[in-house]
Structure 1
Amino acid sequence: MAQHKLQTNRMQAIKCIDRRALKGKEDSLENEIKVLRKLKHSNIVQLVETFEDKNKVYLVMEL
């Protein structure tokens, strides 16, 4: 769980994915991100932003 820096009343969830766990499945993650970016539905958590570093991929989502 994280708090938005500019909108302090807005809380978001962050999904952290270890790159080592993705060995050979990188395409699956890219596909999941593409699908989540396109989805806009009240019953599905919306993807807000993605960040990457050398060890992890971070998906910022609605809480």
Structure 2
Amino acid sequence: SGAFSEVTLAEEKETKTMYAVKCIDKKSIRGKEESLQNEISVLRRLKHKNIVQLVEVYDEK
């Protein structure tokens, strides 16, 4: 966990694949949304065996 987010281990039910899920508190990033969009943009383009890969983004209330 950090100042803006918490990472949790999750398992996909069908395939039993394990994922790290980064949950970001929207209230804590008010005024910094551009930084978050930049992080998402960079992670979408990265494809490297030694760097985590962004699989999906979900936006909920």
Same fold (TM over 0.5): yes
Please, what TM-score do these two structures have when normalized by structure 1?
Answer: 0.79
Equivalent residue pairs, number: 53
Q: Which runs of 5+ in 2 are unaligned?
A: 1-8
C-alpha distance in structure 1 between counterparts of 2:41 and 2:13, whole Å: 25
C-alpha distance in structure 2 between counterparts of 1:5 and 1:35, whole Å: 28
Overall identity of the aligned pairs, in %: 57
CA-atom RMSD in angstroms:
0.8
Structure of higher RCO (CA pairs closer than 8 Å, 6+ residues apart): 1
1:11-59: CA deviation from partner (whole Å, max 9, x where unpaired): 00100000011110000000100100000011110011010111xxxxx
Q: Which runs of 5+ in 1 are unaligned?
A: 55-63
After TM superposition, which residue ranges in structure 1, 4 or more long, deviate above 6 angstroms?
none
Please, what TM-score do these two structures have when normalized by structure 2?
Answer: 0.81
